[in-house]
A and B are shown apart, each in its own frame.
Chain A
Amino acid sequence: AQSVSQHNHHVILSEAASLELGCNYSYGGTVNLFWYVQYPGQHLQLLLKYFSGDPLVKGIKGFEAEFIKSKFSFNLRKPSVQWSDTAEYFCAVTPPNTGGFKTIFGAGTRLFVKA
């Protein structure tokens, strides 16, 4: 089945460590890609998105993601995490041929940053 896969379900890092969260999707064709974040007790909010153009996109709070079409990947990165980055991160894809009407989410990665 076509899907969105996030490789790590739980990640624990110390402050100032670098972060990379993996995301792969299995849809062919043109896709729109997103990363959302859910801080403890809050609702989901958009971190960044990719539609076209420069495959390296920058989002809020120092996050960035790189779209590699040949690898069907959209990995999220941050050079130096902070305690406040503790949250759950979701990769999401709008598959082709859906008119943009369906956004499919990965299972999420829980990040815990130790102070």
Chain B
Amino acid sequence: NAGVTQTPKFQVLKTGQSMTLQCAQDMNHEYMSWYRQDPGMGLRLIHYSVGAGITDQGEVPNGYNVSRSTTEDFPLRLLSAAPSQTSVYFCASRRPVTGELFFGEGSRLTVL
């Protein structure tokens, strides 16, 4: 049971570089989301998707793009990385009805 898989686990970027965090789930969940976790601030919702082709903004969407071409995949793109985007990123999918979120193991991103 893979659940939610994120790659890479660690990444170091220079300011201005771009990159994509990958997220895949094998539970056939329609809903997927991206959070960032920062000390003292908990998890903040970046973007979410309620199904293939449908995405929407969360609490802190600026500087991030998402797309959802398939049910399984929900990549998060940083077009021009900034030091303020140094964080741990978590992808999650949601079980219908119960609303339980299933999280990936996280991706630690450092922007220099």
Residues of A within 8 A of B53 (CB): none
Chain A-chain B contacts (Cβ-Cβ < 8 Å), number: 59
Residues of A within 8 A of B100 (CB): 34, 46, 49
Chain-A contact segment, one of B21-29, B36-44, B74-82 = B36-44
Residue on B nearest A33 in the bound complex, by CB = B99
Residue A57 is within 8 A (CB to CB) of chain B in the complex:
no
Residues of A within 8 A of B109 (CB): none
Please pick, from A9, A34, A42, A106, the residue contacting B99 in the complex, using a CB distance under 8 A: A34
Tell me the complex Cα distance, A100–B94, Å.
10
Residues of A within 8 A of B40 (CB): 9, 107-108
Residue on A nearest B101 in the bound complex, by CB = A103
Give the distance to chain A from B102, nearest Cβ to Cβ, in Å. 8
Contact assessment for A101 and B48 in the assembled complex, using a CB-CB cutoff below 8 Å: yes
Residue on A nearest B96 in the bound complex, by CB = A100
Residues of B within 8 A of A112 (CB): none
- Number of chain A residues whose Cβ lies closer than 8 Å to a Cβ of chain B: 26
Most chain B beta carbons < 10 A, residue from A34, A99, A101: A101
Tell me the complex Cα distance, A32–B95, Å.
14
Residue A69 is within 8 A (CB to CB) of chain B in the complex:
no
Residues of A within 8 A of B105 (CB): 42-43
Contact assessment for A46 and B101 in the assembled complex, using a CB-CB cutoff below 8 Å: yes
8 A Cβ contacts from B55-112 to A:
56, 58-59, 90, 94, 98-101, 103-106
Contact assessment for A105 and B44 in the assembled complex, using a CB-CB cutoff below 8 Å: yes
